[in-house]
Homo-oligomer: A and B are copies of this chain.
Amino acid sequence: MKEIGIGLLGFGTVGAGVVEGLQQNGKLLEERLDLRLALRRLADLDLDSDRGVKADRALMTRDAGEAIRDPNVDIVVELIGGVTKAKEFIRQALELGKPVVTANKALLAEAGAELHRLAAEKKTALYFEASVGGGIPIIKAVREGLVANRITSVYGILNGTCNYILTRMEEEKLPFEQVLKAAQQAGYAEAEPSLDVDGHDTAHKAVVLASLAHGFPVPMSAVHVEGIRNISAGDISYAAEMGYRIKLLAVIKQGGNGVEARVHPTLVPHAHPLAAVSGVFNAVLVSGDIVGDTLYYGRGAGRRATASAVLADLADAARDLSSGARRPPVLRRESGKLRPIGEIVTRCYLRLSLLDKPGVLALVAQALGRKGISIASVMQKETRVGQHVPVLVVTHSAPESAFRAALAEIDRLEVVGAPTVRIRIEDFQE
């Protein structure tokens, strides 16, 4: 049986999962592929820590370059993370014409176009299933399963940490900071949580999905990003009363005016399948012009789920290598039309901090009205005359630019006690 040699860079959590997966199901993969995936080199700076999985010491090296150049290595798997070194290693492998499998969304978001271009030049390919949605085969679904479709929209819950925090805030009616701390203690959030809770990780994945769906590199700078720090337990329960659940969504839409890509907390109707995605799970709703709505759900992170995706890419890469098949490029154009964030139109939920006295709401309504924003409903849950109380306003649809202008004005009003919190509402009507 033909053997394909693998050089694995990064023996961390996911790397150990890949080694473990190969040991557990290597025989099954052989049967299914008619090929043997053989681990030939394993590079990491730390050769000594116990990863809970056996690895042949003779394969190990501290020198990634050595693993990449090894003539017995046919495919390079990059799992070291980070941007600078990872990019250098991937470039080295591609320069040698070796296909690369990577889970590195941060790198793809920053330099995906450059790396895909280099791969095409060198007549090889970059595989990246594990970069979005962990074990969910979402890249394959969009790229191959829906290949006949123009992708009209993608809505994704793509960060397990944020979804876990929002789920616990709802279930236990606790504030963000407290749930974040518990999540950090439980190992569901990093000590430095910004990458997750401020939306950057979701934005990296949005860039990967948007670029794939539309065939041109969507830059990070084109993605509007907001995280979940400003969401209060109150917002979650007010939203619930109105029939919504708050989720951090990546939204990618193709409209007449180009592609829009944004990441922000969003009110999702309770009955919508995305509202039912709880805890660390991820889900992606992909709509195509022929197929309609499709949804994909599973574990978005973790050693084993991510390893499953890396191994699926290895299988594809090995089959392609063995048959000489070349995948057509992911990016078909240098650039494409992007819709500026100011033009996007949504309904919004506003939490205003207003002085509890007559006539105050009229000032707010006037400021909104001057920018063409009309109010659908108002809810005031407390009364404390002469003090600031939360007032919840749900608006009809209006452009982003109108909201910004109106809220800048409102937040300058003397009767406003704190900056207004605005959360977009998604009703999933095209």
Contacts and interface: CB of A to CB of B under 8 A. Distances in A.
Interface of A: 21, 24-25, 28-29, 31-34, 129, 135-137, 140-141, 144-150, 215, 271, 273, 276-277, 283, 288-299, 304-305, 307-309, 311-312, 315-316, 319-320, 323-326, 328, 332
Contacts of A295: 283, 295-298
A305 B292 contact: yes
21 contacts: A29-B148, A135-B288, A135-B290, A135-B291, A135-B292, A137-B140, A137-B144, A141-B141, A144-B312, A144-B316, A145-B309, A145-B312, A148-B308, A273-B273, A273-B297, A283-B295, A291-B308, A292-B298, A293-B297, A294-B299, A319-B325
Q: Please tell me how many copies of the chain the complex holds.
A: 2
Most buried by B among A21, A148, A311, A326: A148
A296 B296 contact: yes
A334 to B, nearest CB: 14
**10 A-B pairs closest in CB distance:** A137-B145, A148-B311, A323-B325, A294-B298, A135-B291, A291-B308, A295-B297, A34-B328, A325-B325, A290-B308
Nearest to A295: B297
A150 B332 contact: no
A308 B294 CA distance: 12
A88 to B, nearest CB: 28
A399 to B, nearest CB: 29
B319 A291 contact: no
B150 A28 contact: yes
Nearest to A322: B325
A24 to B, nearest CB: 7
A145 B140 contact: yes
Most buried by B among A32, A34, A277: A32
Nearest to A299: B292
Contacts of A24: 289-290
A25 B146 CA distance: 12
B323 A326 contact: yes
Given A29-B147, A147-B311, A332-B31, A291 B298 contact: yes
